[in-house]
Amino acid sequence: MNLTLKVWRQSGPQDKGRMVTYRVEDISPDMSFLEMLDVLNERLILEGDDPIAFDHDCREGICGMCGMVINGVAHGEQRATTTCQLHMRHFEDGAEITIEPWRAAPFPVVKDLVVDRSAFDRIIQAGGFVSVPAGSAPDAHSVPVRKDDADAAFDAATCIGCGACVAACPNGSASLFTAAKITHLSLLPQGQPERLSRAKAMVDQMDSEGFGGCTNTGECTAVCPKGIPLDTIARMNADYLKANSK
Ligand code: SF4
Ligand code: FES
């Protein structure tokens, strides 16, 4: 495959940034999107140019590090797929592809396609945990959990913290991420003692980081590689309301 790439290049946080056009040739349809960028970067290095900076780690769709806006869609148009799991066979030979970083004020660009997502870490630090009294571990299966609660908690726990939901939201809201992190604990017995204080602390931290409010546009769930559903946000809002009316 031969492709034309229009890639956001920004040397650092203070640089204004610009789109730069590159031609890439002889790309295998079996390559992942990141492998295609690796090919371009190897060429840029050989030519003495600065390679394109982008985040990645597992390349298996589980770590949440990768993420870029491809042709205007966070992680690209392939549903429920991270950028690292997106393969070039989903593009036409000769296609023009635009590649940009997540764009949201709380995710400032570090360089090129790399953004600072430490705001997510601070939301987790505000309450994304359970406090466990010291002592021996309880016996397995000693705390019964309803199957549908366990399933819903597990589904919420599949959030990989990639930030695509924020990038896709017209309000730059982190509600889907925060709700997923709240929900995977709030549905389980271990998460009950701190349930309301957790929701309040994490939502307040989300707001203080500068993320926008949710207006139910649903763009977040449409791009989420893990298919976190919109009703997760409703559950978070209910807990937040209860926490503030106590
Ligand atoms: S909710 Fe989905 S899109 Fe948002 S951070 Fe989690 S996995 Fe990524
Ligand atoms: S590199 Fe880990 S999810 Fe893509």
DSSP 62-73: SS-----EETTE
CB 199 within 8 A of CB 243: yes
Q: What pTM was computed for the model? A: 0.96
Q: Please work out whether the CB of residue 58 comes within 6 Å of at least one atom of ligand 2.
A: yes
Q: Please work out whether the CB of residue 115 comes within 6 Å of at least one atom of ligand 1.
A: no
3-state helix, strand, coil in the chain (%, to 5): 40, 15, 50
Q: Please work out whether the CB of residue 62 comes within 6 Å of at least one atom of ligand 2.
A: yes
pLDDT at 173 > cutoff 90: yes
Lowest mean pLDDT among 47-51, 90-94, 139-143, 154-158: 139-143
pLDDT at 246 > cutoff 80: no
Q: Are strands 69-70 and 96-100 parallel, antiparallel or unpaired?
A: antiparallel
Q: Closest ligand to 183 CA?
A: 1
Q: Closest ligand to 225 CA?
A: 1
What separation in angstroms does the CA of 143 have from each of 11, 63, 188? 52, 29, 10
CB 77 within 8 A of CB 70: yes
Q: Tens digit of pLDDT for each residue in 39-91?
A: 999 999 999 999 999 999 999 999 999 999 999 999 999 999 999 999 999 99
